Amino acid sequence: MFGRRKKRDAAEGAAGEAEQVVDSVDTEADDEGGRLRLEPGPRPDGPWDSSEVSDPAEGRVDLGGLFVPGVDGMELRVEVAGDAIVAATVVLRDSAIQLQAFAAPKREGIWGEVREEIAAGITQQGGIIDEVEGPLGWELRAQVPVQLPDGTSGFQVVRFVGVDGPRWFLRGVISGQGAVQPQAAGLLEQIFRDTVVVRGDGPMAPRDPIVLKLPNDAQMVPEGVQQEEGSRFSGGMGQLQRGPEITEVR
């Protein structure tokens, strides 16, 4: 089943705050700072552009701007900003990865500068950042300040990963055990690698989010409603109509 929800809980607050950091950046800062902007590097293991895959829908869920690999036992949730769906989150056991694609300049990668901006924003909030080269390339491993359910302050451990593609940038935010113990995130990392981005040919400003859509046969599940046994996708927001259930995505 699919869930459509607003980002409200502490576990997802870090990803939302990171989106604000990314979206609020002045795109002219690079010229003023003289930062070198490199062309996107090769992606021999993905993630993929839609032009590089013969059948993006094979083994993947069609979200319009993203084709997300299907894995047994996963939940797939979508994130909304206003009326637009702008991100998808794959939940697998005790870990999750949020996927969000953005438009990017034709010949310039933006992940290097986005990492700097996310790091600066989290540091200003009192968080801790460690930039390392991981399985998906350079990433940020962060301890992000959050308010815990009991009202006290604490930290959430998250990993920010990213890859530059042709005229797009794909960001992933890994949380849960996949962030606390990166060696446990192999399947989430493979989902990130095997995701297909559909940028489209229309004009888009750099950093504009690539808007997603629900699959035609998605089932919407109100938040808090008990899931049916064996369902693949879940989550939810109230007052949504039930539809045909997707029972197999591979």
What does the domain layout of the chain look like in residue ranges?
2-23+38-197
Given a cut of 60, whether residue 220 has pLDDT beyond it is no
Are 162 and 112 within 8 A, CB to CB?
A: no
Q: Would you call 105 exposed, middle or buried from its count of C-beta atoms within 10 A (0-12, 13-18, 19+)?
A: middle
Q: How many CA atoms lie within 13 A of 53 on its CB side?
A: 23
* Vertex 100 angle, CA 57 and 90, to 5°: 65
- Low-confidence winner among 22-36, 54-68, 210-224 (lowest mean pLDDT): 22-36
* Vertex 144 angle, CA 143 and 147, to 5°: 130
Choose between 242 and 162: higher pLDDT: 162
- Low-confidence winner among 64-68, 147-151, 160-164 (lowest mean pLDDT): 147-151
Q: Tell me: the pLDDT tens digits for 51-84?
A: 999 999 999 999 999 999 998 889 999 988 888 8
Residue 36's pLDDT is: 53
User: Span 233-241, mean pLDDT?
Assistant: 28
User: Span 142-148, mean pLDDT?
Assistant: 93
Residue 44's pLDDT is: 78
CATH architecture of 2-23+38-197: 3-Layer(aba) Sandwich (3.40)
Residue with tokens 């094979």: 58
pLDDT confidence tier of residue 221, bands split at 50, 70 and 90: low
CA separation for the pair 187, 168 (Å, rounded): 23
Q: Model pTM greater than 0.85?
A: no
Residue 38's pLDDT is: 65
